[in-house]
Each structure stands twice: as C-alpha cells, then as structure tokens.
Amino acid sequence: MKQTRPGWVEAWFKTLVERSAFRVESIPLSTSTEWSLSEGAICHKSGHFFNIVGLQWTDPSGQTIAQPLIEQREIGMLGFLMRQGEAGNELLVHAKIEPGNVGIVQMAPTCQATYSNSSLFHGGEPPPYSDLFLTRKLDVIHESLQSEQGTRFLDKRNCNMLAVARQLVLERDTHRWMPADEFLELLSIDYLVNTDARSVLICSSWHDLVGRKPFSRFRSPFSIDLEKSACCDGRLISTSDLKRHMQTMRSRVAVERVIPLEQLEGWSLTDEGLRPREGGPFIVRQIKVIAHGREVSSWDQPIIDSKGEGRVDLVCGRIDGLLHFMFRPQVEAGLSNDVELGPTVTIGPGEKIDENQLQDWSGAELISATHLSDEGGRFFLDRSLYRVLDAGQVDGKAAGGCWLSLKQVRQLLDEGGWFTNEARSALAQLLVWL
C-alpha cells in the first residue's frame, strides 16, 4: 500500500514554500530579542509559550537522570473539521510550514493552536480556524485529551478533536478539503502527515471518520483480521485489569524535580545552547525563522535537535485466531500520568539502537514501514522509522508488555491518557486499511 507523493501535493507545497521565503538559521541566545535565560530557565519575554527547564528524576532502574525538557503546561488544540462531500466524508487539511519539518511542509489538522498563539501573545494573527474550535461553533464528533512525548515535554497535553462546522467553511491557500479515504492513504508516505494529524486521526471515532464499519474498506486477509480485532475483546487481559495494573505502576514512579539549567549534571549551557558533555540523544539550540504566511512572518525560538533516526515497531500477532497488538508500559518523566503504553519497540531519535530489542521479531512479516518526523515546531528534523510487523501465531507472552485487541485500543483511546505519542503514531499506520 506504499504510495508516492501525489503531483498536486508537490505543486501545492512548492507554491507555499516559495511564497513564504522560508529560511531557518542558528543564532546565539544573546542575540534574541524575545528569549533569554531567566531564573534557571530559557523563557519568552511574555511569560507564555514554553520554557526550557532542567529536570532531575529517577528512572525505574534507580538511575538518577538530569536533562532539559520543554515545559508547556497549557493544553493545545488539535482539531480536524469534517463535512459531507460528494464522495463521502471530507477533512479540511492544513499544509503547515514548520521550521523543524522534514520537507518544510507537512499536512496537519485544520487547527493546530496553543493557548499562547490563539491568545496572540506573539503579536500576530490567530492560528487558522482557531476561533471555531475555541468558541465551539461546531458539532463535536470526538474529543479526548492526549499526551505529547514525555521524554521531551513536561506535562504537555493536547485536546484532540474531530468536529463538523455549523456554517460554511471556505478554504484558505494553506488549507484544502480532501476525501477522508484519500487522506488516510497518505499516511503511508514518508514525511507527509505530521504527528498532530496522526494523533487526531487515530483518536477520532473510526466509524464516524469514514462513515462505515471500521477496517471494511479492503477485503485483504490483514484488513479482515483488523476488522475482527476492532469488534472483539482481547483474549489475555481485560481493559479494566490493565488499567488497574497501570495505576499501580503510576503510584510507584518517583517524583521529578525541576532544577535550574545551570545545575544540570552532565550538560553544558552556553550562548550556543545546551549540549550533553559526553554525548547524548539531543541538544537544545536557538534558531531564527522566516516564514511569510504564518501568524507572524519571522521569529526566533529554542528547538530540540536530535542526532540520528529513531525506530518504532508495533508488532501484531494472532492469539486464538484474534489479531492482537503488543504494547509496553513506558515510564517517562514528562508525562502527567507518569506511565503510558508505548509500542512494542521505542527507540527515540538520537538514542542508540540496541539490536537485541529487535531480535525477537526478526522473523516477523513487514506490513508497513514509514519514515515520520516529530512536531516541527519544537523538534528540528527529528525523525523515526515506524514499522508494523506481523508475527503470525503468538503464544501471548509479553515480556513486560501486554497484547491488546483493537477493540481494547479503541476503548483506551476514547478515555485519553493511556497511549504515548509514539504509540498513537504507530497505530495511525493502520488507518490506511480503515
């Protein structure tokens, strides 16, 4: 089902990039007129947007870890508008320019807005269509509160929403109405659909998103297995028992402590940014951006820059004839819930890939493989290879994880706060079959 990028997408993106006069460059923090080091954190002069702070915490092995994190304790809005078109449901898609996007432009939800941006603390225009979502001038089909990466963000959550407008909504140059089925097919293309869109799509009601029984579009053996899994409870653990187990794990996580950046052990803070002294997965640096057509045409900001590509594998297998997916609880210092379910294998951008983590599934069939990048407003060209692997018949042993049916996945997505950002992006690869 792997596709190449459609010609009309290439032409649309090229036009937007040319109009934007896009440019990004590194700058010393001391040259910024907006950001500075204040009381141990890198902060914006308005007191809003986000801060770069130091965090000290203890991981499950008992090791004390000190690292910088993005502190953004406000709830962002991520929402798709949907309407009924001639060929079925259509989504209003945003071709969004971000400084850290691989390819500069990626497809995003209709509205992607933080509280700071929608409140105009940047002195510019409001994010497109944010007034509809913030004033709720729409009919909400699905809504849930979900996390961002707990290895990079501190207590950051987003409201993921799918909604129908109560009024005629016209396209802007940066937006286009697309058939939902056509848009879901684009999920298999490298670096095309951004992380926020992937999260909203997988969290949305699958039935309402496409207007039919989930995973009934194709009649291949794998899609038939997906359809059955979306209708049946798991064979090994109930959703309620899993939640009790997760709550117990959450109660045992050590409390983290915010500390001044100058006191981060193992990190060097200079005018050029934050760098680990003995190598590490990422650095923090300041960039200046020009992008005409955004809410403001130029700005500067801190950004996380990881070295190397990550790997995310979601393994599926059949237990008593029912397709299950294997997830592992992830303890991440920045998660407001402390512990959420991650994919079978999660190796973040810049982290060393331990081949032993991949050996157990070396004989599994490769169902899909897509290169995806993280949120381009906070991460600079951070990317991972996302794979879905089919292990065939499995015995249900999880080695610290759990096997869930898609019906159980759906129940947990509806509640919010149970799956990591990486797990939601991995699951979104399945929507090609929706």
SS (H, E, C) the chain: CCCCCCHHHHHHHHHHHHHHCCEEEEECHHHCCCEEEECCEEEECCCCCCEEEEEEEECCCCCEEEEEEEECCCEEEEEEEEEEECCEEEEEEEEEECCCCCCCEEEECCEEECHHHHCCCCCCCCCCCHHHHHCCCEEEEEEEEEECCCCCEECCEEEEEEEEECCCCCCCCCEEEEEHHHHHHHHHCCCCECHHHHHHHHHCCHHHHHCCCCCCCCCCHHHHHHHHHCCCCCCCCCHHHHHHHHHHHHHCCCCCEEECHHHCCCEEEECCEEEECCCCCEEEEEEEEECCCCCCCEEEEEEEEECCCEEEEEEEEEECCEEEEEEEEEECCCCCCCEEEECCEEECCCCCCCCHHHHCCCCCEEEEEEEEECCCCCECCCEEEEEEEEEEECCCCCCCCEEECHHHHHHHHHHCCCECHHHHHHHHHHHHHC
CA 10 to chain centre: 23
What per-residue confidence (pLDDT) applies to 3? 78
8 Å CB contact between 290 and 22: yes
Give the pLDDT of the chain (434 residues) as one tens digit per residue.
Answer: 567 899 999 999 999 999 999 999 999 999 999 999 999 999 999 998 999 999 999 888 888 999 999 999 889 999 999 999 988 999 999 999 999 999 999 999 999 987 667 665 555 688 999 999 988 889 999 999 999 999 999 999 999 999 998 889 999 999 999 999 999 999 999 999 999 999 999 999 999 999 999 999 999 999 999 999 999 999 999 999 999 999 999 998 888 899 999 999 999 999 999 999 988 899 999 999 999 999 999 999 999 999 889 999 999 999 999 999 999 999 999 999 999 999 999 999 999 877 777 777 888 999 999 999 999 999 999 999 999 999 999 999 888 899 999 999 999 999 999 999 999 999 999 999 99
**Distance between CA 286 and CA 308 in Å, rounded?**
19
Neighbours of 172 (CB within 10 A): 13
Phi-psi region for residue 40, left (φ > 0), alpha (ψ -120 to 50) or beta?
left
**DSSP calls for 80-122:** EEEEEETTEEEEEEEEEE-TT-TTSEEEE-SEEE-HHHHTTTT
Q: Give the whole-angstrom CA distance, residue 176 versus residue 251.
A: 45
For the chain, which domains are there? 7-15+73-213 (3.90.79.40)
Given this model, what pLDDT does residue 123 score?
Answer: 56
What's the CA gap between 283 and 275, in Å, rounded? Answer: 5
- Total number of residues shown for the chain: 434
User: Are 385 and 362 a contacting pair, CB within 8 Å?
Assistant: no
CA distance between the termini of the chain? 12
The pLDDT, as a whole number, for residue 116 is 62
Question: Nearest CA to 196 among 337, 341, 80?
Answer: 80
Are 427 and 388 contacting, i.e. CB atoms less than 8 angstroms apart? no
pLDDT value for 120:
52
**Gap between the Cα atoms of 432 and 328, Å rounded:** 24
3-state SS, residue 277: coil
User: Where are the strands (E) in 320-432, listed by range?
Assistant: 322-331, 339-342, 345-347, 365-373, 383-393, 402-404
Q: Can you give the pTM of this predicted structure?
A: 0.96
User: According to the model, what pLDDT value does residue 151 have?
Assistant: 94
